[in-house]
Amino acid sequence: MTEPTTIERLRCERLANPLGMDVAAPRLSWRLSTERKGARQVAYRVTVQDRWDSGWVENDAQLVVYGGEPIAPHETAVWNVEVRDETGATATSEEATWSRGPGEWQSEWIGGPLFGGPRTASPTPELIRGFRLDEKPTRAVLYATGLGVYRAKMDGERVGDHELAPGWTVYSKRVRYQAFELDLAEGDHEWTFELGDGWYAGHVEWRGRHLYGDRPLVKAELHLWFGDRHEVIPTDGAWDAAYGPSLQADLIMGEHVDARRGREAIVPVRPAALDIPIVHQGNEPIRAVQEIKPISIVRKGGEWLIDLGQNMVGWVRVNAKGQAGKTLRLRHGEILDAKGDIYLANLRTAEQIDYYTFRGDDEGETFEPRFTFHGFRYVQIQGLAEEPTLEDITGVVLHSDYERAGDFKCSNELVTQLQRNIEWGWWGNSLDVPTDCPQRDERLGWTGDAQVFCRTANFISDAQAFWEKYVQDLSDEQGPEGQIPPTAPNTNAVGDDGGPAWADVIAIVPWDTYEATGDAQILRAALPAMEAYLGWLDTTSDDGIRCGPNYHKFKGFGDWLNINAETPQEILGTAFAAFSADRIARSAAVVGDTELEAKARASQEKFKLAFRKRYVTEDGLVMPGTQTAYLLGLHFDLLEDRGAAIDALVTDIRQRGDRLSTGFVGSPYLNHVLTAGGRSDVAFDLLNQKQWPSWLYAVTQGATTIWERWDGWTHDRGFQDIGMNSFNHYAYGAIGDWLYRSVAGIAPGEPGYKRIEMKPQVGGDLTWAEAWHESPYGRIESSWRADGGRFIWDILVPPGVTADAHVPGRDAVCEGASESEGRFELTSGRWRIESTL
C-alpha cells in the first residue's frame, strides 16, 4: 500500500499559533510528511476562514504570504492547507491560528518609585491592581511589555511561561510585547507584575548599572470581552507599588530574596512618559527548557559543592529547611581549580551569587530565582542546615525556545562529545541575543562571534526567527555612515564600528540564514542596512584596501586569540570587504535589486583585485603566510592559483605538528578549505588532534562546552589570563558546520534545501557517522559506515526535494536510481547506497 501524504508543522511567521501579532500580511508555511519515494507537492490551496482563499495554485511552494485583508486588532484568523501530490491524491491539514495585537495602546508606562545608583542595587517592585468582574468574560487577553524584565500574575498564579520577558532590544528604537490568553471568572481579581532590572536598568557589562534607564517599567493592557462589549484595564496611575521579599534581581550579580518579608511600603506607582515604538515579539521567548540533576555533592568545609555535570546557563532551584533569618548563599562557577575549589577569578566583576533568607517553614522551603541567569557547572552552597540530597538541587536550563533542528554523532566518542559541547555552548549563549559568554561581566551580542557561528547554529536549531530579530538589532544600531558596531544591541562599551569580520555580520548572517531556510524575507529586511554598509566599505577603503596604513580609525580586533600567527588587519579587512560585497550582491539578486547587485559586484571586484595586487605573490603565496591569510584568500575566492596556496597552508599545518594557529576569524573556514582543496586527510588530522591548540583538547580535559581560548587551561600553565577566559564561548564551535556538511554529508545545494548536496568525507579514524536535520521541507538523514572495505550509506530525502549524493569509493549501487560518475540523483524517500572503498 502506498504511504499517504500528510501535512504538518503549520507555522505563521515561523511560529506555532502566534498570539497578538502585528504583521498585516504574515508568512504561512507547512511541511509534507511521507517517506514515499518520489513524493512531492504539485499544488496547494490555503484557506483562511471567512477571509481569504488562495484557490488551487499549481506549484510546489510551501511558504506563501497571506493575501487577504489584514485582520483587525485582537481578531483571530483560522487557517489550513490542502495539498495535491504527484499521485493526484489530496491531503488536508489540521487548523492553525494567528491573532492580531492591540493596535493602538491605551496604557501608560509605570514602575516603582525607588531606584539605586550605577553601583548600588535597589529592591525589586511588585505592581498591584485589583478589579472586580460582574460576569465571566467570553474572552480575556493580556498584552504586556517592559523596560527591564517582568513576570505577570493573576490571582497569585503566574501568567505564561516566558522567562526574562520581554528580552533585550535596542530600547531607543523598539520594545516588544507578549500576548497571553486568560480564563477569568466572575468576581474579585488581583493583577500583579514583578519587575527586575534586566538589561535595561541592571548590569549588562563591566561599567555598572543604568546603561539605558534607572528603574524597570512595565506597560500592559488587559482586554476583556463580554459578548459584543469590550473593556480594557490598562497600566496607569491607579496601580500601587510594593516592595517585598526580593531585595535585588540583577542579571550578572544575582538575586537576593528575604522570604520573611511581605509586601511593604505600598505606595502609588510612578508613571513615566516615554515614546518608544512597541512591536510584537516575533521570535521564540526565553523559557526554562530543561532540568538537570547533580552528579555529585561534596562537603567543602562548611559549604557544599554541587556538580551538575554540565556547564549550563540558567539557575538552581533548591529545596531546603532553615531557621528563620538564616541565609543561603549560592555561588556559581564553570570549573574547579587545582585544589578542587570553585574557580571564580574569570568572572571579573560579575558576582553570580544568589542569596535566600529563610522564613522558617517547618516543612521546608523552595528557592528559585526569577530575574537573573548564571553560566556554571558548579554551585557552592553555604548556609544549609543539613546535607542536601541530589533531589534537593535542580539545574534549570534557559535559552530562547527555538525547536531543535539537528544532531550529529560518529564512531569517535570525543568528536561526538565535541558536538555536544557545541550544542550546549549555543544554547547557553542564545537568550534572545547571540552572546559571547554567559558568566562574566560581558554578556554581549558580539557580532563577530555571531557571524562565524550562524551556519552551525542553523544546523542545530530552527533559529530563523531568532536571527531575524538579531538582524533587526543590527539595523537599529547601524551608524549614520553605515558602520556596524561590534555588539548588538550595542552598549557603546567598545565603540560604534566592529571592524573586519565583526561589522561584516550584516552581510553574512542574513545570507547564511537565507541559505538555511530559503526564505528571502531576512534579505529584504537587511538589504537597506547592507547597502549602507557597502557604502561604508567603499568610502573608508583606500584603492580597495580596507584598514590600510592611511586609515586611522578603529581597524578591528584581528584574528582574535590566534596562536602566535597574527594576520594584519588590512588583510582581514580587504578580504572581508570582498566577501561582504559578494553576499550583498547575492542578496540583492534574490530580492531583485539589480542596481545594488551591480554596485556590489563592482565593489567586490575592486577589493578582490586590491587583495591580489597587495598580498599575493607571483607564485601564488599569500603574505604574510599565516593560516588565516591563506584561508580567507581561498574561501573567499580571491586567488587565481589555488594550488600553491593549499600546499602552503598544508605545509604550515604539518610544520606545527598537525596543529592550527587560527583564531576566531580563520578557524571556521579551516576544514572547509582543506576539504574543498582535496586535503580532507589534513582536515581529519586537525579534527583528531588532542594537544592544544585543537578542538579536542578541551574535550580531553572534561569540558562540556566550547572554551573561549584554545589554552583556557593547560597542565603546564594552569589558567589563562583571568581578564578573558570564558569556558562557555561558542565561536570555536563553528567546526560543527563542517561536521554536518562534510563528515555527515548534509548541505544545502539550493537555499532552503530544495536541493541537497550530499558529499560525505570518510577519513581519520571514523568508521561511521550519522546526522539528521529538519529542513524547511522536512527531515534529512544521512548515516554511513565503512565496514570491511565497503561503504554503506542510508539516506532520507524529504518530500519535494532532490538530493545529489556523491558516493565515496567505486562501483556504487543504489536500487531504483542510476549512477553517473559516482553521483546519484535521488528523489524523496529512503535510499541505501553501497560502494567499494
Q: Which residues are catalytic?
A: 442, 708
Question: Strand pairing partners for 271?
Answer: 110
CA torsion, ordered 662, 576, 616, 676, to nearest 10 deg: 60
Do 704 and 424 touch, CB atoms closer than 8 A?
A: yes
Phi-psi region of 621 (alpha: psi -120 to 50; beta: other; left: phi over 0): beta
Phi-psi region of 121 (alpha: psi -120 to 50; beta: other; left: phi over 0): beta
Q: Which of 663, 738, 734, 732 is nearest to 697 (CA)?
A: 732
Give the largest CA-CA distance in the chain.
Answer: 87
* Residue 285 Cα distances to 96, 102, 132, 401, angstroms: 20, 19, 31, 6
β-bridge pairing 286-292 and 365-367: unpaired
β-bridge pairing 187-196 and 125-133: antiparallel
Residue 724 CB neighbours (<10 A): 18
DSSP run (H or E) holding 207: none
Write the CB contacts of 788 (distance below 8 Å, at least 6 apart in sequence): none
Quick one: cell of 706?
A: 566550547
Sign of the torsion formed by the C-alpha atoms of 653, 657, 658 and 664? negative
User: What is the 8-class DSSP label of residue 339?
Assistant: T
DSSP run (H or E) holding 216: none
Q: Which of 261, 376, 363 is nearest to 316 (CA)?
A: 376
Phi-psi region of 495 (alpha: psi -120 to 50; beta: other; left: phi over 0): left
| Residue 674, SS3 per DSSP | helix
User: What is the 8-class DSSP label of residue 63?
Assistant: E
Q: Residue 534 and residue 530: Cα distance in Å, rounded?
A: 6
DSSP run (H or E) holding 477: helix 464-477
Q: Which of 157, 162, 193 is nearest to 176 (CA)?
A: 162
| Residue 531, SS3 per DSSP | helix
Do 204 and 197 touch, CB atoms closer than 8 A?
A: no
Q: Residue 222 and residue 227: Cα distance in Å, rounded?
A: 16
Do 816 and 37 touch, CB atoms closer than 8 A?
A: yes
CA torsion, ordered 153, 197, 426, 145, to nearest 10 deg: 50
Question: Strand pairing partners for 190?
Answer: 130
Task: Determine the angle formed by the axes of helices 667-676 and 680-688, rounding to 10 degrees.
Answer: 140
Do 220 and 145 touch, CB atoms closer than 8 A?
A: yes
Q: Which of 577, 648, 586 is nearest to 609 (CA)?
A: 577
- Three-state secondary structure readout of 391-422: HHEEEEEEEECCCECEEEEECCHHHHHHHHHH
β-bridge pairing 139-147 and 217-226: antiparallel
Write the CB contacts of 36 (distance below 8 Å, at least 6 apart in sequence): 2, 3, 5, 799, 828, 829
In degrees rounded to 5, what are phi and psi of residue 279?
A: -125, 160
Do 307 and 295 touch, CB atoms closer than 8 A?
A: yes
Q: Which of 685, 680, 712, 682 is nearest to 699 (CA)?
A: 712
The Cα angle at residue 752 between residues 750 and 753, in degrees rounded to 5: 60
